[in-house]
Amino acid sequence: MDRFCCFLKCIECGQEYSPQEVIYTCHKCGGLLSVEYEKSKIPSDLDEIWKKRPLSVWRYAELLPIRNKEKAVSLGEGGTNLNRCKRLSEKLGLKRLYVKNEGENPTGSFKDRGMTVGVTMALELGMKKVACASTGNTSASLAAYAAKAGLECFVLIPSGKVAFGKLTQAIIHGAKVIQIRGNFDEALKIVREICSKHLVYLLNSVNPFRLEGQKTAAFEIRDQLSGEAPDKLIVPVGNAGNISAIWKGFKELYEQGMIERLPQMIGIQAEGAAPIANSLKHSLTTVKFVKNPETVATAIRIGAPVNWKKAVRAVKESCGFMETVSDAEILEAQKLLAQYEGLFVEPASAASVAGLAKLIQMGQIDRDETVVCIVTGHGLKDPDIVLKRFRKPVEVEATTEAVVQAMTSKPQAAQVLAS
Ligand code: AN7
């Protein structure tokens, strides 16, 4: 099929670029780039075409920058469950709460949606080497997709600040893992510089093709809600790529006449790493970066989010907003998801649900609204945080009596030590 189904466009000055060019930001003004589609080339019967395929990223090929699905570097990404959370919604005082569990993706996070497209693009562009900076999940995902594609992979991570499971993934998939004595923002700055000078393809979310994959979460939600968008869509925010991507997805559905109304986008940042949320709250015209971000949710320990302009637009265009949550609120939401809904998510993922709980208390969400929270990554990526927080299981003699006694005695194993 036609490779030139799309083009790149600067979100600031409108300059257009060919999708065959290796480019991450506008050469004229430095603005972020967006992937746009020739409207006349989009089939009018998208719904009919999509319905025939399983729920997955590649179901939506007509609105992806790679038309030839045969070439896709795929591990079976997307198609994640949209859980109707009855127990949790009752607890929070809401009628309809859904949680989209992105931890079900092949490497355990939403990043796989982007990497299947981004790494396929790397092959199309003839690149042999790929790289990223990462708080963990991006590196785990890129390492896996690069392995599948046979590409050399480099990942830069902040030393000592990446959850154990994610580091393990990058190592086993054979990436060259480089720990820097610095934070994520510094790692990203370095890798951007390297990729601008060498033949290494950058796969952080400044890469607009990656975000195209991530927008499919919006398409899936619409399909899973029988053709509708929710009232509110709540998503954890770090580098701010995902909230921008999901908003783009909903806008495209709207432009195609496939949804009747758009959701309000709500971004949640951790208190110690909340440059966008805080700047929006103070009505600043620009985002004031946080120099030393800190949070238990290491995945979103980001002070200089590269996609802040796209994210601010997403929030403003959708009449949404951003909110912050404390580490204690994040960990409480992680526990609620696990113990009310059977969903084990990593701390950053729980930020969306922590935000929901806070917003309900503040009266910002009506109990009749349909809310979708995105939970972004699997809990097994960061088991340390759980073991630190919860009491160790009791150990008893191997006798029926001792076990029965343990079963009836308090405290139970799964109790929180301290928040
Ligand atoms: C679980 O892996 O930035 O706002 O380098 O792993 O699109 O950045 C991870 C981000 C939310 C924030 N939840 O998404 C990385 C990285 C989880 C994450 C985010 C991340 P963006």
Residue 369: pLDDT over 70:
yes
Structure confidence by residue, pLDDT tens digits, 132-172: 999 999 999 999 999 999 999 999 999 999 999 999 999 99
Q: Is 300 in the pocket of ligand 1 (CB under 6 A)?
A: yes
What pLDDT was estimated at residue 98? 98
Average pLDDT over residues 293-303: 97
| Mean pLDDT value of segment 321-347 | 98
| pLDDT confidence bin for 219, thresholds 50/70/90 | very high
Cα of 42 from ligand 1 centre, angstroms: 30
Kindly report the average pLDDT of the chain as a whole number.
96
pLDDT in tens, 311-323: 999 999 999 999 9
From the CA of 102, give the closest atom in ligand 1: 1
Percent above pLDDT 70 for the chain: 97
What is the pLDDT at residue 68? 85
Tell whether omega for the bond before 293 is within 30 degrees of 0, i.e. cis.
no
- Summarised one tens digit per residue, pLDDT across range 175-199 is 999 999 999 999 999 999 999 999 9
pLDDT at 410: 78
Distance CA 252, CA 36 (A): 10
With a cut of 80, say whether residue 25 has pLDDT above it. yes
Determine whether the shortest distance from the Cβ of 349 to ligand 1 is under 6 A: yes
pTM tops 0.85: yes
List C-alpha distances in Å: 191 to 42, 80, 154, 198, 272: 35, 31, 9, 10, 24
Average confidence (pLDDT) over 320-339: 98
Taking the centre of ligand 1 as the mean of its atom positions, its distance from the CA of residue 352, in whole angstroms, is 12
In the predicted model, is pLDDT for residue 270 greater than 80?
yes
Residue range 340-355: average pLDDT?
98
pLDDT band for position 416 (cuts 50, 70, 90): low
What average pLDDT does the segment 370-390 reach? 96
Q: What is the reported pLDDT for 69? A: 85
Distance of CA 391 to the CA centre of its chain: 30
72-110 pLDDT per residue, tens: 999 999 999 999 999 999 999 999 999 999 999 999 999
Asked whether 175 and 139 are in contact (CB, 8 A), the reply is: yes
Tell me the CA–centroid distance for residue 300 and ligand 1, in Å: 6
Atom of ligand 1 nearest to the CA of 237: 4
| Residue closest by Cα to atom 18 of ligand 1 | 299
Indicate whether residue 240 lines ligand 1 (CB < 6 A).
Answer: yes
201 residue type, one letter: Y
**pLDDT band for position 404 (cuts 50, 70, 90):** very high
Q: For the residues 253-278, what does the mean pLDDT come to?
A: 98
CA distances from 27 to 188, 243, 308 (A): 19, 25, 19
Give, using CA atoms, the residue closest to atom 16 of ligand 1. Answer: 135
Mean pLDDT of 302-312: 98
Percentage of the chain beyond pLDDT 90 is: 95
Q: Is 376 in the pocket of ligand 1 (CB under 6 A)?
A: yes
- State the fold for domain 82-109+210-381: Rossmann fold (3.40.50)
Check pLDDT > 80 for residue 413. Answer: no
What ranges do the domains of the chain cover? 82-109+210-381
d(CA 247, CA 241) in angstroms, rounded, equals 10
More confident residue, 418 or 185: 185
pLDDT of 414 > 90? The answer is: no
The answer to whether residue 218 scores a pLDDT higher than 70 is yes
Which residue, 44, 7, 349, 34, is CA-closest to 206? 34
**Three-state SS at 169:** helix
The C-alpha R_g of the chain, in whole angstroms, comes to 21
Q: pLDDT at residue 116 above 60? A: yes
In 3D, which of 277, 275, 273, 267 has the Cα closest to residue 234?
267
Report residue 67's pLDDT band, with 50, 70 and 90 as the boundaries.
confident
